[in-house]
């Protein structure tokens, strides 16, 4: 039987809680398409809703809805120039939380693997 260090389990649970908004935001295929468009588009000044709409073949309201979710998850940022809004990946993006989550998962898996080899 494999026992996982409870401190590792607690750390993993914390990382999952910290990453919840990001996981929900990037777990949707439509938002993934928007993120891919933003990655391939100009980072300066960013992309406007109409440009994202063309790249993703979504309606303007759908793009706006999904951009709002990505913005609330702190994955993208918006820069306003007068009446124009430019969206781009946030340089301090919460996507980095996923890296911490994966690191914690790897620690737990390494411990499980080490114990399995001992048996």
The CATH number that applies at residue 78 is: 1.10.10.10
| Residue 1 lies inside a defined structural domain of this protein | no
Q: Is 77 a domain residue?
A: yes
Tell me what pLDDT residue 119 has: 64
How many domains does the chain divide into?
Answer: 1
Task: Tell me how far apart the alpha carbons of residues 12 and 115 are, in angstroms, rounded to a whole number.
Answer: 18
pLDDT-derived band at 114, boundaries 50, 70, 90: confident
Pinpoint the alpha helices (H) of the chain: 6-26, 29-40, 49-56, 60-72, 96-118
- Rounded mean pLDDT of 101-112? 88
Domain assignment of residue 86, yes or no: yes
Mean pLDDT of 104-117: 80
Q: What is the pLDDT of residues 5-22, one digit of tens each?
A: 888 889 889 989 989 999
Q: How many CB atoms lie within 10 A of CB 73?
A: 22
Q: Which domain holds residue 96?
A: 6-118
Distances (CA, A) of 16 to 46, 50, 92: 30, 34, 19
């Amino acid at each position: 039987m494999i026992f996982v260090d409870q401190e590792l389990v607690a750390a993993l649970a914390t990382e999952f809680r910290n990453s919840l908004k990001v996981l929900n935001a990037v777990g949707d295929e439509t938002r993934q398409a928007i993120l891919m468009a933003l990655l391939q588009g100009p980072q300066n000044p960013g992309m406007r809703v109409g440009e994202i709409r063309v790249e993703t073949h979504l309606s303007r309201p759908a793009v706006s809805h999904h951009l709002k979710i990505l913005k609330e998850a702190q994955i993208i940022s918006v820069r306003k120039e007068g009446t124009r809004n430019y969206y781009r990946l946030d340089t301090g993006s919460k996507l980095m939380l996923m890296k911490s989550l994966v690191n914690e998962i790897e620690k737990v898996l390494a411990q499980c693997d080490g114990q399995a080899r001992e048996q």
